Amino acid sequence: MMTMNNDSGESISLWMDTASIPLTKTLEENLRTDVCIVGAGISGLTTAYLLLLEGKSVVVLDDGPVAGGESGRTTAHLVNSLDYNFTELEEMHGEKGAMLAADSHSTAIQRIESIVKNERIDCDFIRLDGYLFPGPGEDPDYMIREQDAAHRAGLPGVVKLDRAPLISFNTGPCLKFPNQAQFHPMKYYAGLVKSILERGGKIFTNTPVTSVEGGKNAKVKTAANFVISTSSIVMATNTPVNDLFAIHTKQAAYRSYVIGALIPRGSVTRGLYWDTADPFHYIRLENVQGGKTKNDILIIGGEDHKTGQDDDPTARFDCLEQWARERFPMILEIKYRWSGQVMEPVDKLAFIGRNPADADNVFVITGHSGNGMTYGTIGGILVTDLICGRKNKWEELYNPSRISLKATGTFLKENLNVAAQYADWLSGEDEKNAAHIKPGSGALMQKGISKIAVYRDNEGKLFTFSAACPHLGCVVNWNDTEKSWDCPCHGSRFSATGKVMNGPAISNLKPADS
């Protein structure tokens, strides 16, 4: 039996619509295992698979379905040309750091390729070239500087071209990154799940984890009060749900938007494309129905903003569509619109390794920005090495306890932004009269000195919650695209009816009258 994967909002991605995952059960007993992994996205599944190859016993727990988080909402570019370009990485982490980063992502693509081959996963994996082109007003010398930095980072094949191979618009001078890759992510996870289960790994879904304790008697507890006793714990929950502060002051949650447009096959040259705009656009193709139709889906993403800090997220799709139609006039129809959440680390690299201020046997994989397909895989490789007591050359680079003084400016900017969100307690309400809230919609209202989050379902029933995010008390905001309550401070998200969907919060919104 297979299942549809969505636990992070209302929108449906192309991947959720065109593949499914083998059905898994909910945990109904206490268990003992070598490693307990929380989160069944690409990070958790890859870690589970690689640990099984090492002979470890593994239990994976997820509060929703497999890949119901951001792994189902990705666009699945597999690249060593990262969201933070090599000029930025070199400035922040030095030449050696940029080189190790490039090496880790190249290795991750190779590892995905070998897993696909060894496990015979039919997931449309292909190698293809990527093109970085200038956004409006970009410094004409930028591409030369970035090419030099990419070469210093150990990517000598990066070349400058007069334009990317797109017929419908002239990108201007661009950089070609050879030998990148793409796949159908949901088909890949389906293959990983099958391999994990065949090797004796256990995956339990609809099993929320409510507490995690490292040390000699490490254990993971679930909402239904079952306990996993374990030697090591891996938090692969996109953002850690076991920390109040440690990592959350060092990364920020952003929403990103994607449209999938039907285009005649062959009208856009196959490749991966990104510009240098801020926020940037990212583009790839998907060959629908195994090439049996005359069309492809052109996948275009961008329009990122801080989670919970946009009054009209739905308008982001319109901006994206306008941008796309101006450049790709062959678009026939928009078939998909979805959004998702990316975690942006202040010093531009992911946090993978031992969880700060925790016992030595609690590990975390987070801070992926828009490169989580490869970071999730790097996470699997690195954490497996640490659990098996092996040295790993990327350990220091991705150490979650690192403090990068050069990132102080971004750190202060992001945390002042968080502090400013508490002023929402003093600002006005969205709606004075609950009767004005449309079916399928939500709004903030004032109740005495407090704020409440009010949702009216499609049948007209009202649901009311305290608007205080259970993580650290910021006021949640209504997201009409995903029909969710989003916290502007560290990106926790709750369903329309108050169920926690994204950490760091680990509990639901409280009822208004509690």
Which of ligand FES, ligand FAD, none is residue 208 near (CB under 5 to 8 Å by kind)? ligand FAD
Kindly list the distances between the CA atom of residue 454 and the CA atoms of 57, 426, 442, in Å, as whole numbers in the listed order.
45, 18, 5
Cβ pair 263, 328 in contact under 8 A: yes
Type of residue at 79? V
- Residue 506 interacts with ligand FAD (CB under 6 A)? yes
Kindly state the smallest distance separating residue 229's Cβ from ligand FES, in Å: 30
**Dihedral, CA of residue 262, residue 264, residue 269 and residue 274, to nearest 10:** -20
Tell me which stretch binds ligand FES (CB under 6 A): 51-59, 331-339, 352-360, 466-474. 466-474
For ligand FAD, what does the binding mask look like between residues 451 and 490, x meaning CB under 6 A?
A: ----------------------------------------
* Window of 330-338, 447-455, 478-486, 488-496 that interacts with ligand FES by CB under 6 A: 488-496
> CA Rg, the chain, in Å?
22
x/- mask, ligand FES, residues 272-291, rule CB under 6 A, reads: --------------------
3-class DSSP string for 251-302: EEEEEEEEEEEEEECCCCCCCEEEECCCCCCEEEEECHHHHCCCEEEEEEEE
Residue 47 in contact with ligand FAD, rule: CB under 6 A: no
Q: Whose Cβ is closer to ligand FES: residue 128's or residue 418's?
A: 418
d(CA 422, CA 472): 10
Strand partners, 465: 453, 511
Q: Is 367 in the site for ligand FAD (CB under 6 A)?
A: no
Choice from 340, 492, 496, 512 touching ligand FES (CB under 6 A): 492
345 binds ligand FAD (CB under 6 A): no
Asked if 143 interacts with ligand FAD (CB under 6 A), we say no
Other C-beta atoms lying within 10 Å of the C-beta of residue 336: 20
List 42, 474, 496, 500, residue binding ligand FES (CB under 6 A): 474
CB 493, min distance to ligand FES, A: 9
471 binds ligand FES (CB under 6 A): yes
x-marked contacts with ligand FES along 79-118 as a string, rule CB under 6 A: ----------------------------------------
Q: Does 475 bind ligand FES (CB under 6 A)?
A: no
Amino acid of residue 392: N
CB atoms within 10 A of CB 255: 25
Q: How many residues belong to the site for ligand FES (CB under 6 A)?
A: 12
Distances (CA, A) of 182 to 209, 226, 286: 32, 39, 9
Q: In this structure, what DSSP letter does residue 320 have?
A: H
Minimum CB–partner distance for residue 473 and ligand FES (Å): 6
Give the footprint of ligand FES on residues 494-513 (CB under 6 A).
504-505
Name the binder of 164 from ligand FES, ligand FAD, none, CB < 5-8 A by kind: none
Residues 6+ positions from 330 with CB-CB distance below 8 Å: 168, 263, 264, 267, 268
Tell me if 209 contacts ligand FAD by CB under 6 A.
Answer: yes
Place of tokens 């690689």: 50
Instruction: Fill in the per-residue mask, 219 to 238: x = in contact with ligand FAD (CB under 6 A), - = not in contact.
Output: -----------------xxx
Residues 61-80 that bind ligand FAD (CB under 6 A): 61-64, 68-71, 73-77
Burial class, 360, CB count within 10 angstroms (exposed 0-12 / middle 13-18 / buried 19+)? exposed
Tokens of 444: 């903030």
| Residue 230 DSSP code | E
